[in-house]
Structure 1
Amino acid sequence: MSDWLTSLPEAAQTYLDGQRLDEVECIVSDLPGIARGKAVPASKFARQKHFHLPDSIFFQTITGGWGEAADEDGFIEKDMLLRPDMTTATAAPWTGDWTLQVIHDAFDRHGEPIPYAPRNVLKRVVELYHAQGWKPVVAPEMEFFLIARNLDPAQDIMPMTGRSGRPAAARQAYSMTAVDEFGPVIDDIYDFAEAQGFEIDGITQEGGAGQLEINLRHGDPVKLADEVFYFKRLIREAALRHNCFATFMAKPIAEEPGSAMHIHHSVLDMETGQNIFVGPQEGETDAFFHFIGGLQKHLPSAIAVLAPFVNSYRRYVRDHAAPINLEWARDNRTTGIRVPLSEPQARRVENRIAGMDCNPYLGIAASLACGYLGMMEKQRPSAQFRGDAYEGETDIPRVQGQALALFEQATDLHAVLGEDFARVYSIVKRAEYEEFLQVISPWEREHLLLNV
C-alpha cells in the first residue's frame, strides 16, 4: 500500500484488506444534500491534492434549474478547489469494484472556504461555539420509508411488500414483527454500515407503513452530519437491492406520519468536559434554559432550512406525530422541543422540528445556531408546557413561502450561519418555490375545473 492508503480510517483499511482499490468517489454535498463530484481512478487520486468543480453546483435547485445567486462577477461558473478530508474516507460496499468515497471541503481560488458550501456552514457554527469555550454534541435520529418502486410520479406512493408478501401496514410502531418484515433490507443496511465504520444505536419500526428509524450515537456535529449524508445513500442502495425504494421525503404518503430528523443537543465545557446544562447539584443551568429559549425564539426563522421543500410543510399536521408549535416540555413527544429522560450528565434538548428531507449539515447548523443565539442573548423560554401540545396553537409556518420570508428577515441568524450563505440559500429556494407554484395539482383540476 502507498502511504495515503495506510493512513486511511480503520474501517476503510479493513474493507480494502487484501484487495486492490479501483476507484475513489470525490464528493461534496450541495444545498439539497445531493452528493456531487467526480469518480477517479485510485492511481489518479493518489497523485492529486484537489480537484475542481464550478461554484454553480450550489446554485442548483432540486429540479436541476438554477438560482441567480452568483456574486458580483456574474454567473461565470468559477472553479472551486475541492480538498479531501481523509478522515471521511469510507467504503462504497454496494459497487461492483473496490471503491472508496471521500468527502471534500470547498475553497475559492484564494484558499478561503466557500461560505455557502453546507459542510462549511456547519463548521462555521461549530467554531463559534468553540470561541466561547463550548463543545457542541449532537445525536440525530433518521426516519424514512421503504416503499414499493414508484416509476410514475402521477401515481400515489405505496408501502413496500415485506417478506410475508403483504404490503406494510401502518400503526405498528416499535413492532419487532414489522421490523422483521424488512429483514433483508435491514441486514444490508447493517452490513453496509459496518463496512463503512458507522455505529448504529438502534433500528425501530415507526408509526407509518414501512417507516423505520435509525438512531446514531452522539458525537461531533460535523462527523454526525457526514454520517447522515453517507447513510442516506447507503439506505437507498440497500433498498434497491431488494426491489424497493427508500425515501427521505418529509411526507411521502398522505395518510401516514411524516419523517423527521430529530436532533438531540448537549454542550460541553471544553476545559472540563462537563455538560454545561448540568449544575453543581445536578440541576438545570441557565445555559440549559437559554438554549431552549433560543430554539423557541429563532426556530421560526430557521424552519426554511429545517423544512426545505414544499412537501416539508405537509408534515406539520395536528396529531400526526409531528409538532405544530414550539412549546417545550420534559418527556413529552407532542411538543416541538423535548427534554428526554436521562441521567443528569446526559441532559440534552431535542429539536423535533427538522424533517428528514433537510440537508444534514444545514439542519444541524441551523438548530445549533438557534441554541447558540439563545445562550449569547440569555434568552428565557416560556413556561414548561403541560399536557398535549397538539391542543395548543400552531406557531410553525405552514407553507414554504411564509418560512422563506421569516428566514430572509432574520439578520441575527444570518450572522451565525453566514450572510453569503443566507443570500444564496434564499435565492435558490425562491427559485424552487416559484417553479412549484406554476404546477397545477390534481386537487385543483378535480375541485376547481368545473365548479368555480
Structure 2
Amino acid sequence: MSRKSPDWTALIPKAARDYIAGRRLDEVECIVADIAGVARGKAMPASKFAYQDRFYLPNSIFLQTITGEWADNPMGAFTEPDMVLTPDWSTTSAAPWTADITLQVIHDVFDQQGNPMPVAPRNVLKRVVALYEAEGLKPIVAPEMEFFLVARNLDPNQPIIPPMGRSGRRAAAKQAYSMSAVDEYGPVIDDIYDFAEAQGFEIDGILQEGGAGQVEINLAHGDPVALADQIFYFKRLIREAALRHDCFATFMAKPIEGEPGSAMHIHQSVIDAKTGRNIFSNPDGGESEAFLHFIAGMQTHLPAVVALLAPYVNSYRRYVPDFAAPINIEWGRDNRTTGLRVPISDPSGRRLENRLAGMDCNPYLGLAASMVCGYLGLKEKKMPRPECQGDAYMGETDLPFNLGDALDLFSDSGPVREALGIEFCTVYEAVKRNEYKEFLQVISPWEREHLLLNV
C-alpha cells in the first residue's frame, strides 16, 4: 500500500534525521516487542519502506516462549492470522552498530479490524496509561537499569564469570560506586554513550553496582511508554556495545552465583494533567492522602503482578536475604531494605520507588504491572501498613518464592486482570506456564551432585 508522501523522514525525531543526514539510508528495521521483550519484525530496504505504510506479522509471535517453543493458544484455534503493524514515527532511532546505515522503528500492533492487539506488551502499557488519563492524571516514571558485563560464555554448562578488565584482571565484586571499577571496562561504556547519543537517548548517570562487572544506568523521568521504548532499545544497544569488546552484556536477574542480582527499579509519581501538580504532595508540601493510597495499592496488588516483574525461574534467585534485593512489600522513607522506598526529594519530586522488578522483565510489562497497582490503590483509597522504620529484611515476606506460585497469584487477581486486559493475562499465563513446565523437566548439576549417590 502506497504512502501519500515518500518523504517519511520528515516525520522522524531530529536525532534520527541527524544520523542519516548526508548519507544514503540502506535499511529500516520494523520491530515490535514480544512477550519476553525480544525484538520481532522484519528488515527491508529503505526504498521499499518509503512506499509502504503497514506491514504484517502473525499473531503467534505473542505465543512464543523464551526457548523458542510455542504455547497453546488459550483463546482459540491456532490459525496464525496476520496482525497489522503501523510505524510510530516518534520511535525512529539509529542502529549505529550495523555495517550499513540503518534505522529502527517500533510499530503499533492492530488486528485486521483496526483494534489494538490486546496481547501486545506495548498496547498493555498504553492501556494502563489510559486508565490514569481517564481520571485526569498523568503517570511519570524514572527507571534504573542494572546489568552485568560478563566474559563470553559459549557453553551453558559452565558458570558465568566476570569479564577481563583493561588491567588484565577480571572485574572484582564489592566495588559499588567505584570509578576505577567502571574504568576497567571503559571502552564498553564509551560505546554505550556513543550509541545512546546517536539514538537521541538521555542517560542520567552510569555507576558501578555491587556485583563484579555490574553496571547501573539511570534514565531521566518521563512518559512511561517513551521510557519503556528506551529500555527496549537500550537492552539491544548495550548488548551490541559489549560484543564489540569481546564480552557479553546480560540482563538476567541473577547471572552469577554469590553475586547480587540485577533490578529495574521503577520510580513513580503522578501529576494532575490540568495543573501539572504532583498529586503525592499537598499544597503545604506534606505527603497527600493520594500518596498513601498509592502505596497501599502497591502493597495490596504487587504479589499478584510479581509474575510480570519476575518472569523467569532465574528471577526468584534474586529474592534472597542479604543480597541487596527486596524480599518484602514494606514501605519506608529512604530505607533500602524495603521493597517500596520513598527517596529523599522536594514536594514537587515526591515519588515511590518500586524495588521489586528484575531487569529481566519486559519493560512494557514491568512498568504496566507496577503502575496498575498504584492506580488500583488510588481507586480503592485504602491506607498502607505502618511505615517500616528498621530492617525490613528481618520481617516476613508476602512475595511468591517461585514462578509457579507467582502465576497462581496472577491468575487469581480479578482487579489486576481486568485492568491489564483479560485476553493478555490469559495468553501471558499460558506462555509462562509452558516455560515453567520446560524448566521442571531439566535436571540440574546440583541435583546430580547431591542426589545421585546420596538418596
Correspondence 1:445 to 2:448: yes
Q: 2:389 aligns with which of 386, 389, 411?
A: 386
Conservation of the 8 A alpha-carbon contact between 1:69 and 1:423: no
Alignment gaps of 5+ in structure 2? none
How does 1:170-319 map onto structure 2 within 5 Å?
Answer: 170-319=173-322
The answer to whether the aligner puts 1:47 opposite 2:51 as a matched pair is: yes
- The one of 27, 30, 37 equivalent to 1:23 is 27
Structure 2 distance, partners of 1:379, 1:33, is 33
* Shift, 1:149, TM fit: 0.1
Deviation sequence 1:105-157 (CA, Å, 0-9, x none): 11001000110100000000000000000000000000000000000000000
Whole-Å separation in 2 of the counterparts to 1:432 and 1:161 = 33
Q: For residue 371 of structure 2, what is the aligned residue in structure 1? A: 368
- Residue 426 (structure 1) aligned to one of 415, 426, 429: 429
Q: Equivalents in 2 of 1:379, 1:423: separation in Å?
A: 28
Distance between the aligned counterparts of 1:212 and 1:450, measured in 2? 41
Aligned amino acid, residue 102 of structure 1:
V
Paired AA for residue 333 in structure 2 = R
Please state how far the C-alpha of 1:3 moved relative to its aligned partner.
2.3
Query: What residue in structure 2 maps to residue 351 of structure 1?
Result: 354
Q: Which amino acid aligns with 1:26?
A: C
TM-aligned CA deviation for residue 7 of structure 1: 2.4
CA–CA distance in structure 2, aligned partners of residues 69 and 140 of structure 1: 32
1:380 positional shift: 1.1
Q: Which residue of 1 is the match for residue 169 of structure 2?
A: 166
Q: After superposition, what is the alpha-carbon deviation per residue over 1:281-303, rounded to whole angstroms, capped at 9, x for unaligned?
A: 01101110011100100000000
Question: Is 1:5 aligned to 2:9, yes or no?
Answer: yes
TM-score by length of 1: 0.99
Distance 2:83 2:166 in 1: 47
Superposed CA offset, 1:300-336 (max 9, x none): 0000000000000000010101001111000011100
Structure 1 residue 379: deviation in Å?
2.0
| Deviation at residue 69 of structure 1 after TM alignment | 2.1
Counterpart-to-counterpart distance in 2, 1:451 and 1:379: 52
Deviations 1:20-43 (A, max 9, x none): 110000000000000000001001
Match of 1:88 among 87, 91, 115: 91
Deviation of 1:2 (Å): 5.0
Residue 70 of structure 1: CA displacement? 4.9
Q: 1:146 aligns with which of 141, 144, 149?
A: 149
Is the 2:87–2:108 Cα contact (8 Å) retained in structure 1? yes
User: CA-to-partner distance for each residue in 1:203-230, whole Å, 9 max, x for gaps?
Assistant: 0000000000000000000000000000
| TM-score for both structures, normalised by structure 2 | 0.98
Offset of residue 344 of structure 1: 1.0
Number of equivalent positions: 451
Q: How big is the shift at 1:6?
A: 2.2
What SS is found at the alignment partner of 1:25?
Answer: strand
Aligned to 1:435: 438
Measure the CA separation in 1 of the matches of 2:203 and 2:149. 18
CA distance in 1, matches of 2:232, 2:395: 34
Q: CA deviation at 1:254?
A: 1.0
Matched, 1:105 2:136: no
Tell me the amino acid that sits aligned with residue 8 of structure 1: I
Q: Could you tell me how far apart the structure 2 residues matched to 1:61 and 1:3 are? A: 38
Structure 1: runs of 5+ lacking an equivalent = none
Report how far residue 8 of structure 1 moved. 1.5
| Stretch deviating more after TM superposition (298-307 or 393-402) | 393-402
Whole-angstrom distance in 1 between the partners of 2:206 and 2:375 = 30
**Per-residue displacement from partner, 1:368-409 (whole Å, max 9, x unpaired)?**
000000110002110000111111112211111000000000
Residue deviations 1:84-108, cap 9 Å, x none?
1010000000000000000001100
AA aligned opposite 1:40:
M
Aligned to 1:412: 415
Q: CA deviation at 1:14?
A: 0.7
Change (3 A) 1:185 1:251: same
Q: Distance in 1 between matches of 2:73 and 2:122?
A: 18
- Kindly state the Cα deviation for residue 232 of structure 1 after the two structures are TM-superposed: 0.1
Match of residue 155, structure 1, among 145, 152, 158: 158
What secondary structure is seen at the aligned counterpart in 1 of 2:150? strand
The residue type equivalent to 2:259 in the other structure is E
- Amino acid of the structure 2 residue aligned with 1:61: T
Counterparts of 1:60 and 1:252, CA distance in 2:
23
Q: Contact between 1:26 and 1:38, CA under 8 Å: does it hold in 2? A: yes
The 2-side partners of 1:261 and 1:9 are apart by: 27
2:422 equivalent to 1:399: no
Instruction: State the secondary structure of the residue aligned to 1:47.
Output: coil
